[in-house]
């Protein structure tokens, strides 16, 4: 099982990856709990007039219910399902509600003072809050510990030593069980998140090479062309030369290893900025953002040189590839300025065909 440190780091990563989803969940939970808490306070107010009349707490429950009704109205107005608030605001509102609710539970556990009873509801409610809102693991544990600490200080002042000792034990248990519960929940959330991310990557990425697949490259390139209409770019279509010969000579596993090597070359050239993909069996793709003809050709030269260094299973080399390059300019008045993804792809494919007709192992650019 993962250590607390690993789960803590994982909780930060989970919240970062899913901030919108977490915010939406916390916001919804906040509204539901406010409605539920209002109903609970109202029922206690009714009980204070009947079952708990001897406790003389009607005034306390009346004040608490009145305050809660106001807070409920404000919460419904501010955090209804049609309003999406930012992460920090929702986190602050959830923190306030948890502290406010635990304060009232703490008061209930002490008043009336003359009863001198141990806190029956404090520990289970505190543990419940550990699983209610999605906070960072360390934040949730600090919050829980602070609540229990404040309560114990007040209990020490107003309760007998024997009852206070019981409250100490239950509070310590609440902290330990709450932390353990939060750890289990975050471990589960991280597993589910990792699974979702893996499925997402599987849908976007070619499993053999780790590059984007054909659908992903097209989506990402179209998005760039749509949002950066006046920016230059270059599109490369790359064909690994004589790949059938590689498969027939060295076998399919060796052929896959060669393609993985070629994929690493393209991934290195793409870096974090550009888009590298595999669009067919031995056909690849490289989209260079903010890139003109000279930069594109420099990339092509490096790719050709690195490809020639790929080594087969028996140590044989060289291998080679053919590259067709189409460049989109920045001049809005030119025909290239309004080109679509399909237009640029067709031009790159056309020059790739010419390279292959002229002996392969080279590149050609069409501006």
For residues 159 and 212, what is the distance between their CA atoms, to the nearest angstrom?
66
Residue-wise pLDDT tens digits, 69-128: 999 999 999 987 667 788 899 999 999 999 999 999 999 899 888 888 889 899 999 999
Say what the pTM is. Answer: 0.58
| Token couple for 365 | 């650019």
Residues of each domain in the chain carrying CATH 3.30.70.270: 214-366
pLDDT at 200: 64
pLDDT at 99: 95
Element of type H or E holding 298? helix 293-307
DSSP designation for 212:
B
For residues 112 and 54, what is the distance between their CA atoms, to the nearest angstrom?
10
As a whole number, the mean pLDDT across the chain is: 88
Name the residue with higher pLDDT: 358 or 52.
358
Give the CA diameter of the chain: 101
- CATH superfamily for 214-366 is Reverse transcriptase/Diguanylate cyclase domain (3.30.70.270)
Q: Please, which pLDDT band fits residue 333 given cuts at 50, 70 and 90?
A: very low
pLDDT at 196: 67
Q: How many percent of the chain have pLDDT more than 70? A: 93
Residue-wise pLDDT tens digits, 197-232: 765 666 788 889 989 899 888 888 988 898 877 888
Residue-wise pLDDT tens digits, 10-50: 888 888 888 888 998 999 999 999 999 999 999 999 998 99
Residue appearing with tokens 């393209």: 266
pLDDT at 140: 92
Give the phi and the psi of residue 315 in degrees, each rounded to 5: 90, 0
Q: At what angle do helices 58-79 and 19-49 cross, to 10 degrees?
A: 150
Quickly count: other Cβ atoms within 10 Å of residue 215's Cβ. 12
DSSP secondary structure, 42-108, as one string: HHHHHHHHTTTGGG--HHHHHHHHHHHHHHHHHHHHHHSTT----HHHHHHHHHHHHHHHHHHHHHH
Give the mean model confidence (pLDDT) for residues 49-53.
87
| Token couple for 194 | 């990792």
The answer to whether residue 324 scores a pLDDT higher than 90 is yes
Residue-wise pLDDT tens digits, 228-247: 778 889 999 999 988 888 78
């Amino acid at each position: 099982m993962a250590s607390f440190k690993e789960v803590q780091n994982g909780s930060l990563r989970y919240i970062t990856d899913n901030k919108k989803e977490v915010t939406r969940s916390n916001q919804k939970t906040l509204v539901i709990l406010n409605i539920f808490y209002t109903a609970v306070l109202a029922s206690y107010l009714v009980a204070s007039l009947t079952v708990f009349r001897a406790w003389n707490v009607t005034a306390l429950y009346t004040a608490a219910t009145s305050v809660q009704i106001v807070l409920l109205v404000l919460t419904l107005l501010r955090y209804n399902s049609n309003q999406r608030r930012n992460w920090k605001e929702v986190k602050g509102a959830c923190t306030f509600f948890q502290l406010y609710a635990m304060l009232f539970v703490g008061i209930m556990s002490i008043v009336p003072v003359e009863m001198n009873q141990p806190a029956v509801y404090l520990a289970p409610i505190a543990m419940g809050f550990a699983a209610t809102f999605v906070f960072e693991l360390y934040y949730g544990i600090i919050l829980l510990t602070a609540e229990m600490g404040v309560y114990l200080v007040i209990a020490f002042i107003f309760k007998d030593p024997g009852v206070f000792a019981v409250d100490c034990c239950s509070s310590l248990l609440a902290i330990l069980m709450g932390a353990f519960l939060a750890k289990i929940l975050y471990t589960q959330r991280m597993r589910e998140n990792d699974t979702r991310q893996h499925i997402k990557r599987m849908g976007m990425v070619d499993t053999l090479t780790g590059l984007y697949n054909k659908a992903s490259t097209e989506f990402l390139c179209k998005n760039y062309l749509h949002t950066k209409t006046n920016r230059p770019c270059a599109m490369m279509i790359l064909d690994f030369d004589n790949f059938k010969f590689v498969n027939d000579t060295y076998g399919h596993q060796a052929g896959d290893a060669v393609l993985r090597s070629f994929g690493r070359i393209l991934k290195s050239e793409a870096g974090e900025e550009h888009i590298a993909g595999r669009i067919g069996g031995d056909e690849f793709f490289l989209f260079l953002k903010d890139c003109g003809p000279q930069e594109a050709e420099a990339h092509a030269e490096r790719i050709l040189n690195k490809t020639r260094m790929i080594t087969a299973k028996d140590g044989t080399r060289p291998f080679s590839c053919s590259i067709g390059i189409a460049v989109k300019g920045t001049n809005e008045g030119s025909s290239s300025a309004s080109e679509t993804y399909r237009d640029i792809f067709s031009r790159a494919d056309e020059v790739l065909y010419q390279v292959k007709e002229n002996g392969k192992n080279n590149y050609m650019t069409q501006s």
